[in-house]
Structure 1
Amino acid sequence: MVKCVALQFDPVWENPSKSRGLIVSMLQRAGNVRGALVVLPEMAESGFTNNPALVVDGKSELFACAQSKKYGCYLQHGFAQARGDSFVNMVAIACPQGNVIARYEKTYLFSPTSEHAHYQAGDSVTVARLADNSSKSLSVAPMICYDLRFPELWRHAALAGAELFTLSTCWPAPRADHRRALCIARAIENQAVVVACNRVGNEPNTSYAGESLIISHTGQVLAVAGEKSEILTATIDMKEVRAWRAKFPALRDTRRALLGHCTIKNC
């Protein structure tokens, strides 16, 4: 059994220090998350900013590691990070021992807000192995926001072993229905659990409706949040996921040659 938690909140605009304080408060409110997989929104320290130089302070991963160790959980944290002469929109997964075990850089940048002009796109999919309380480790693929609209990315991860997808988003309120429908579709077509954590609140030009989701491998919505800060929780039996994949072999029937190449980072 795997406990999944989405911490839905309103980051303080372009203020990592205050946003980290909110994250700490949410973790305190979440109660016992020892051994759980906890997911934060995209850009959880700053909101969806096009001013990465203003918010990158080199402390994001250290913060995630400190919190994951303190609470004994796996913590997926979203933030901006310097990369060479540019920046990336990324997530890192920190483990209960206080180390980063996986990193993923957003592959599909959101051109309508010129994200591509301020960030560098990632070029690979990450599949991370997390310990669970069964005899088999849990394979998790982190994704970020706009990646949701590109199913081929998810299929590559599923074929590389991903059984659970974590999706960190800053998804605007006007397209909330798209997000829900696409999350359900990604779960069904990849026979995988989806833990989708969105933010709430407002930015200078955008409003967010939250509605974080935890969805089963068959597309059943196990938990859904409202439009305010909220802690969303569901417990998943991964044996059921594996049994369904064995019974209904859609992934095995995939014609891999039609998918093209994708670099996989196994962690």
Structure 2
Amino acid sequence: MRCCSAQIDGVWESPEQTLEKAEQVFCDAARAKAALISFPEQFATGWDPASNKNIEDITGITVTGLRKLAKKYSIAVVGSFREAFSPKPRNTSIAIGNDGEILATYSKIHLFTPGHEDLAFTPGAGLAVFTIEGVHFGLAICYDLRFPELFRLYRREGVHAVVVPAAWPKSRLRYWELFIQSRAAENQMYVAGVNTTGTNPVDIYSGASMTADPYGTIIARAGEGNELLYYEIDPLLAEQTRRDFPVENDRKDALYVSLMREQPK
């Protein structure tokens, strides 16, 4: 299955203009015969916990616009937006099929407390699993990469690949690659991180979107600027890797739970 990570800098706080820009991505991806396009974290507005603008529900401009584009070009898409929720909005990614129908939504579980995201958003509390062309996908968002337990849960759900929209800053880029490779190798799955690029009021970003295969090997890597990064996902490779090297059988989940419950005296 051919996929596309759309490493683009959106138009700050302007979903309308960013969606116009995104249509060219769909045109290019259609010519490249991609089945799935993934955009960075909150790509239509830019990631900014301090902002109270452009908070939408699934009938808002961002999701509606992506649904129309997915159907028009017959390509599935993963997007990200500030979802209206009470008492605070959620940082949500959404998967849309090539017919424009919503397949799954995922709200960021691990909010970035160093950037005060926890003060502005409500954390999610569930997984998101969907299937396109026989590939079972999961969703995570940016800071989630630092928490291996989430990816372990996706592995237990039989996921072949996790897509990770992100706004990962240039200053911590070396950890971006480390965590993508680690989460992929640990769980014998593809991990596709799609990062934003450019300078905005919050930080400086330098792209480097990348995909690791079930061995943890980087099979596709973007540069610093706007770029469409194409890569292939083979679900049979993930399944074969798990059969050939069945680390799953050696886990001690019951013991881990028991040890976690033990409190030091």
**Residue 140 of structure 1, CA deviation:** 0.6
Q: Hey, what does 1:76 align to over in structure 2?
A: 78
Letter paired with 2:90: V
Say if 1:138 and 1:104 are closer, same or farther in 2 by CA, change over 3 A: same
Say if 1:72 and 1:35 are closer, same or farther in 2 by CA, change over 3 A: farther
1:44 is paired with a residue of what secondary structure? coil
What is the distance in 2 between the residues matched to 1:69 and 1:52?
A: 31
Q: Hey, what does 2:92 align to over in structure 1?
A: 90
Q: Hey, what does 1:42 align to over in structure 2?
A: 41
- Which of 56, 63, 66 is matched with 1:64 structurally? 66
Q: 1:205 aligned to 2:202?
A: yes
Normalising by the residue count of structure 1, what TM-score does the alignment of the two structures yield?
0.90
Instruction: Report the RMSD for the aligned CA atoms in angstroms.
Output: 1.6
Q: Hey, what does 2:9 align to over in structure 1?
A: 10
**Residue 230 of structure 1, CA deviation:** 0.1
**Residue 182 of structure 1, CA deviation:** 0.7
Contact 2:2 2:33 in 1 (8 A): no
Letter paired with 2:73: Y
What is the distance in 2 between the residues matched to 1:219 and 1:154?
A: 14
What is the distance in 1 between the residues matched to 2:255 and 2:157?
A: 15
Indicate the structure with greater helix content: 2
Say if 1:257 and 1:95 are closer, same or farther in 2 by CA, change over 3 A: same
Contact 1:34 1:72 in 2 (8 A): no
**Residue 53 of structure 1, CA deviation:** 3.3
**Residue 236 of structure 1, CA deviation:** 2.4
* Partner deviation per Cα, 1:125-146 (whole Å, 9 max, x = no partner): 222222x2xxxx3211111000
**Residue 25 of structure 1, CA deviation:** 2.0
Aligned residues: 254
Contact 2:30 2:73 in 1 (8 A): no
* Partner deviation per Cα, 1:129-170 (whole Å, 9 max, x = no partner): 22x2xxxx3211111000000001110111111110100000
1:128 is paired with a residue of what secondary structure? strand
Letter paired with 1:36: A
Q: Hey, what does 2:263 align to over in structure 1?
A: none
1:155 is paired with a residue of what secondary structure? helix
Q: Hey, what does 1:168 align to over in structure 2?
A: 165
What is the distance in 2 between the residues matched to 1:125 and 1:112?
A: 24
**Residue 185 of structure 1, CA deviation:** 0.5
What is the distance in 1 between the residues matched to 2:256 and 2:158?
A: 16
Say if 1:96 and 1:35 are closer, same or farther in 2 by CA, change over 3 A: farther
- Which of 230, 234, 239 is matched with 1:237 structurally? 234
* Partner deviation per Cα, 1:165-215 (whole Å, 9 max, x = no partner): 100000000111100011001110000011110000111130001000011
More off after superposition, 24-33 vs 174-183: 24-33
2:37 is paired with a residue of what secondary structure? strand
* Partner deviation per Cα, 1:65-84 (whole Å, 9 max, x = no partner): 11111121220001111013
Q: Hey, what does 2:139 align to over in structure 1?
A: 142
What is the distance in 2 between the residues matched to 1:34 and 1:89?
A: 30
Q: Structure 1, unaligned stretches of length 5 or more?
A: 261-267
What is the distance in 2 between the residues matched to 1:196 and 1:178?
A: 12
Normalising by the residue count of structure 2, what TM-score does the alignment of the two structures yield?
0.91
Contact 1:166 1:195 in 2 (8 A): yes
What is the distance in 2 between the residues matched to 1:162 and 1:235?
A: 16
1:17 is paired with a residue of what secondary structure? helix
Q: 1:125 aligned to 2:124?
A: no
Say if 1:186 and 1:62 are closer, same or farther in 2 by CA, change over 3 A: same
What is the distance in 2 between the residues matched to 1:213 and 1:224?
A: 4
Say if 1:55 and 1:259 are closer, same or farther in 2 by CA, change over 3 A: farther
Moved over 4 A (4+): none
Q: Hey, what does 1:225 align to over in structure 2?
A: 222
Letter paired with 1:124: G
Letter paired with 1:196: G
What is the distance in 2 between the residues matched to 1:222 and 1:76?
A: 20
- Which of 162, 185, 188 is matched with 1:188 structurally? 185
